[in-house]
Amino acid sequence: MKHIIFLISPFFLFAASSFITPMEYSSQLYKNPRGIGCQHCHGENGEGKIVANYVEKKQKKSFKGPAINKLDYNKFYIALSKRVDGMPRYFLINKEIEALYLFVHKNNEKEVKNEK
More confident residue, 18 or 88: 88
| Cβ atoms 43, 65 nearer than 8 A | yes
- By the 8 A CB rule, do 78 and 68 touch? no
Higher pLDDT, residue 60 or 90: 60
Question: What does pTM read for this prediction?
Answer: 0.70
Break the chain into its structural domains and give their ranges.
21-115
Contacts 24+ apart (CB under 8 A), 24-30: 25/99, 26/99, 26/100, 26/102, 26/103, 27/103, 29/96, 29/99, 29/100, 29/103, 30/100, 30/103, 30/104
Q: What percent of the chain has pLDDT over 90?
A: 53
pLDDT at 49: 95
At residue 7, the pLDDT reads 47
pLDDT, position 116: 46
Q: DSSP state, 46?
A: S
pLDDT digits (tens, 9 = 90+) for 36-83: 889 999 999 999 999 999 999 999 999 999 999 999 999 999 888 887
